[in-house]
């Protein structure tokens, strides 16, 4: 009998424990966001209007307030519908049809529907609005409401990467009653709380967020700290939980440094046009590639926070990346032989660059110059202020420099933007007159057949590599400094979605 009682008691206890832990688990899954963190940005956002400027600091704040029609996986590889209910359909060569998720509301109560998408597109392409983001939507002609939850986006010509562009454009409410530049209203996981100009921006978790994951941290405060040393000091002293500018040299001093592959590609564009310059000869251009030890640059200058580019200005995650094209190996003997064959030994080449806009830019150029000198060339490095550099060198369509340094990234994850600017002979920074590369890039821009587009880019990338129109250097990584208590996996594109952050302990 007593034994029996004991069994019953145990059973009751077990059930009780189970119930308690079930209740606790339930409570946990429903737990509201809690805690707060501070993030140090390099500069104060110029505006909080998500469509107006091309300002990374604004983006770092508003990406958690607004949503886009399309989302992208953190590794950059897949584009998935976000505010859209499904992948968009091409109804005719210049019309993409998006259906929208029902039941989503902006934080001011307005429904997120076709009117919101039309208002967004109309605003961003309005010439009077003069958006600095126009380059990302330059192909878009307008938007048309089909019904409440269906909208067509019209393009000037066939635009195969329109869905990618819709990962860039944040959707705004159609009839805001406040100025979005100072008081953003979105559908995102965070709500705008206050902007104390010059001091801080505060966001709070949106308890009614329609998507996942929901915000786990209740309050996010953005501080503006331009000096890298002051950012690091604030991180070390516990004032900030996340800093955006951690230098490779400082990674050991930060409580925690998190690294992701980046989308930034520093390179030297060579003047491959016909002419008297040394670089008119393909042998010389190849020699300049062989002469540079890309691995040493990655290890010594970037302390391993970079990898050599594979003979193309594209990241492996971008559409158009050609996996069969490889980096020119470091081979000074071959470089010397090629220069000798071209009769270029002892001749002079100029490198034009700016200094300070990109991490390690000047030292990297100096190192390349040294590698070129080692194989028998005379090299002048000319450093200009940024505006002179742009107007007289990088954007100069009449007289291209022998070699001009530039670094580029691409949040659209598609070769088009990068190769149009630096590979195609009509591009703003291109230094060649190769008709084939131009033709393939033009065709790829308007071909909606995915396989055909990919093949065209592969061809163009291969030919550019063989013609050595560029000296490819590195693909640099993003380094973030974090406090020990913050848990967050940064994304490849460097975008910041605060609802993916958690506090531990």
Partner 1 sequence: MGRFALRRAAFGIVVMFLVTVVVFVTTRMIGDPANTLLPLTATHEQRVAFTHQLGLDRPILTQFVHYLGNVSHLDFGNSLLQSRPALNIVLDRLPNTFELVGFGLAIAILFAIPLGVLAALKPGSLVDKATVVVSLSGLSVAQVWLGLLLILVFAAELKVLPSAGIGGIDHLILPGLTLAFPALGRLVMLTRSTMIDELNTQYVQTARAKGIPEIRVVGLHALRNAAIPILTLSGWELIRALAGFSVVVETVFAWPGVGYLAFQSIQQNDVILLQAIVTVMGFLIVAINVGLDVVFKVIDRRVELA
The residue within the footprint of partner 1, chosen from 9, 386, 450, 452 (CB under 8 A), is 386
CB of 44 to partner 1, least distance (A): 7
Residues of this chain, 169-188, that bind partner 1 according to CB under 8 A: 181
The DSSP symbol for 181 reads T
The torsion angles phi and psi of 97, rounded to 5 degrees, stand at -105, 125
Q: How far lies 36's CA from each of 33, 39, 219, 239, 246, in Å?
A: 9, 10, 4, 12, 22
Contact 172, 119 (CB under 8 A): yes
Nearer Cβ to partner 1, position 339 or 474?
474
Q: Is 219 in the site for partner 1 (CB under 8 A)?
A: no
* Among the residue ranges 63-71, 187-195, 410-418, 466-474, the one whose residues contact partner 1 (CB under 8 A): 410-418
Nearer Cβ to partner 1, position 125 or 456?
125
The DSSP symbol for 297 reads I
Class of residue 396 by CB neighbours under 10 A (exposed 0-12, middle 13-18, buried 19+): middle
Rounded distance, CA 369 to CA 199, Å? 43
* Among the residue ranges 80-88, 271-279, 382-390, 457-465, the one whose residues contact partner 1 (CB under 8 A): 382-390
Q: Is 484 in the site for partner 1 (CB under 8 A)?
A: no
β partners of residue 70: 81
Nearer Cβ to partner 1, position 293 or 409?
409
Cis peptide bond prior to 165, omega within 30° of 0 = no
Q: Which of 300, 375, 293, 384 is nearest to 330 (CA)?
A: 293
- Counting residues that bind partner 1 (by CB under 8 A) gives 52
The residue within the footprint of partner 1, chosen from 163, 184, 262, 429 (CB under 8 A), is 429
Residues of this chain, 60-119, that bind partner 1 according to CB under 8 A: none
Nearer Cβ to partner 1, position 225 or 486?
225
Nearer Cβ to partner 1, position 29 or 237?
237
CB of 401 to partner 1, least distance (A): 15
Rounded distance, CA 119 to CA 283, Å? 53
The residue within the footprint of partner 1, chosen from 261, 418, 431, 476 (CB under 8 A), is 418
CB of 113 to partner 1, least distance (A): 27
The residue within the footprint of partner 1, chosen from 294, 417, 453, 465 (CB under 8 A), is 417
Residues of this chain, 229-258, that bind partner 1 according to CB under 8 A: 229-230, 232-234, 236-239
* Among the residue ranges 128-136, 315-323, 345-353, 453-461, the one whose residues contact partner 1 (CB under 8 A): 128-136
Q: Which of 7, 469, 501, 10 is nearest to 256 (CA)?
A: 501
CB of 239 to partner 1, least distance (A): 6
Token pair of 307 as six digits? 């990898």
Q: At what angle do helices 415-422 and 435-446 cross, to 10 degrees?
A: 150
Class of residue 324 by CB neighbours under 10 A (exposed 0-12, middle 13-18, buried 19+): exposed
* Among the residue ranges 151-159, 387-395, 460-468, 474-482, the one whose residues contact partner 1 (CB under 8 A): 387-395
* Among the residue ranges 132-140, 158-166, 257-265, 270-278, the one whose residues contact partner 1 (CB under 8 A): 132-140
The pairing of strands 200-205 and 190-196 is antiparallel
Token pair of 188 as six digits? 């995102």
Nearer Cβ to partner 1, position 139 or 206?
139
Residues of this chain, 187-216, that bind partner 1 according to CB under 8 A: 197-200
CB of 224 to partner 1, least distance (A): 6
Nearer Cβ to partner 1, position 131 or 187?
131
Nearer Cβ to partner 1, position 34 or 428?
428
Rounded distance, CA 417 to CA 161, Å? 10
Rounded distance, CA 215 to CA 102, Å? 21
The residue within the footprint of partner 1, chosen from 37, 55, 456, 475 (CB under 8 A), is 55
Q: Is 138 in the site for partner 1 (CB under 8 A)?
A: yes
CB of 222 to partner 1, least distance (A): 11
The DSSP symbol for 144 reads E
Rounded distance, CA 417 to CA 311, Å? 17
* SS3 readout for 409-422: CCCCCEHHHHHHHH
* Residue pointed to by tokens 């339930």: 26
Q: Is 314 in the site for partner 1 (CB under 8 A)?
A: no
Q: Is 383 in the site for partner 1 (CB under 8 A)?
A: no
Contact 268, 367 (CB under 8 A): no
- 61: alpha, beta or left? (left if phi > 0; alpha if psi -120 to 50): alpha
229 Cβ contact list (under 8 Å, min separation 6)? none
CB of 180 to partner 1, least distance (A): 11
Nearer Cβ to partner 1, position 254 or 471?
254
> Per-residue contact track with partner 1, 12 to 51, x per CB under 8 A?
-------------------------------xx-xx-x--
329-340: b (≥16 Cβ within 10 Å) or e:
ebbbebbbebbe
Q: Is 165 in the site for partner 1 (CB under 8 A)?
A: no
Q: By CB under 8 A, name the binding residues for partner 1.
A: 43-44, 46-47, 49, 52-55, 127-128, 130, 132, 134-135, 138, 181, 197-200, 223-227, 229-230, 232-234, 236-239, 386-387, 390-391, 394-395, 397, 406, 408, 410, 417-418, 420-422, 428-429
């Amino acid at each position: 009998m007593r034994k029996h009682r004991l069994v019953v008691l145990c059973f009751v206890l077990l059930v009780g424990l189970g119930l308690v832990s079930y209740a606790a688990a339930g409570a946990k899954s429903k737990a509201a966001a809690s805690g707060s963190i501070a993030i140090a940005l390099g500069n104060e956002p110029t505006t909080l209007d998500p469509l107006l400027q091309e300002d990374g600091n604004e983006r770092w704040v508003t990406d958690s307030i607004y949503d886009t029609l399309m989302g992208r996986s953190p590794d950059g590889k897949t584009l998935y519908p976000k505010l859209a209910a499904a992948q968009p359909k091409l109804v005719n060569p210049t019309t993409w049809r998006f259906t929208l998720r029902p039941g989503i509301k902006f934080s001011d109560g307005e429904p997120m529907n076709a009117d919101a998408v039309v208002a967004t597109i109309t605003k961003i392409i309005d010439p009077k609005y003069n958006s600095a983001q126009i380059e990302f939507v330059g192909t878009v002609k307008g938007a048309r409401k089909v019904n409440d939850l269906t909208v067509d986006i019209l393009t000037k010509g066939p635009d195969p990467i329109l869905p990618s562009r819709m990962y860039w454009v944040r959707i705004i409410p159609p009839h805001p009653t406040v100025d979005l530049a100072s008081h953003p209203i979105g559908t995102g996981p965070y709500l705008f709380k206050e902007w104390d100009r010059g001091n801080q921006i505060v966001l709070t978790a949106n308890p009614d967020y329609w998507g996942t994951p929901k915000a786990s941290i209740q309050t996010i405060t953005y501080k503006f700290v331009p000096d890298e040393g002051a950012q690091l000091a604030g991180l070390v002293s516990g004032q900030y939980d996340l800093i955006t500018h951690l230098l490779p040299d400082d990674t050991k001093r930060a409580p925690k440094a998190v690294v992701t592959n980046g989308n930034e590609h520093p390179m030297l564009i060579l003047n491959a046009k016909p002419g008297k310059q040394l670089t008119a000869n393909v042998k010389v251009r190849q020699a300049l590639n062989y002469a540079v030890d890309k691995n040493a640059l990655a290890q010594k200058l970037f302390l391993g926070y970079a990898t050599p580019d594979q003979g193309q200005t594209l990241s492996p995650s971008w559409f158009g990346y050609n996996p069969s094209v490889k980096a020119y190996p470091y081979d000074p003997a071959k470089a010397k032989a090629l220069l000798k064959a071209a009769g270029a030994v002892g001749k002079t080449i100029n490198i034009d660059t700016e200094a300070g806009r990109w991490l390690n830019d000047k030292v990297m150029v100096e190192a390349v110059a040294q590698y070129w000198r080692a194989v028998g060339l005379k090299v002048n490095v000319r450093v200009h202020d940024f505006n002179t550099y742009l107007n007289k060198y990088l954007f100069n369509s009449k007289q291209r420099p022998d070699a001009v340094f530039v670094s580029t990234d691409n949040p659209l994850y598609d070769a088009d933007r990068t190769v149009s600017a630096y590979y195609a002979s009509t591009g703003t920074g291109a230094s060649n007159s190769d008709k084939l590369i131009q033709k393939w890039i033009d065709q790829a821009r308007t071909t909606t057949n995915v396989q055909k587009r990919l093949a065209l880019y592969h061809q163009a990338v291969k030919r550019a590599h063989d013609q050595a129109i560029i000296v490819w250097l590195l693909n640099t990584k993003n380094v973030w400094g974090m406090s020990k208590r913050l848990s967050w996996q940064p994304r490849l594109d460097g975008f910041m979605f605060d609802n993916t952050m958690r506090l531990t302990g």
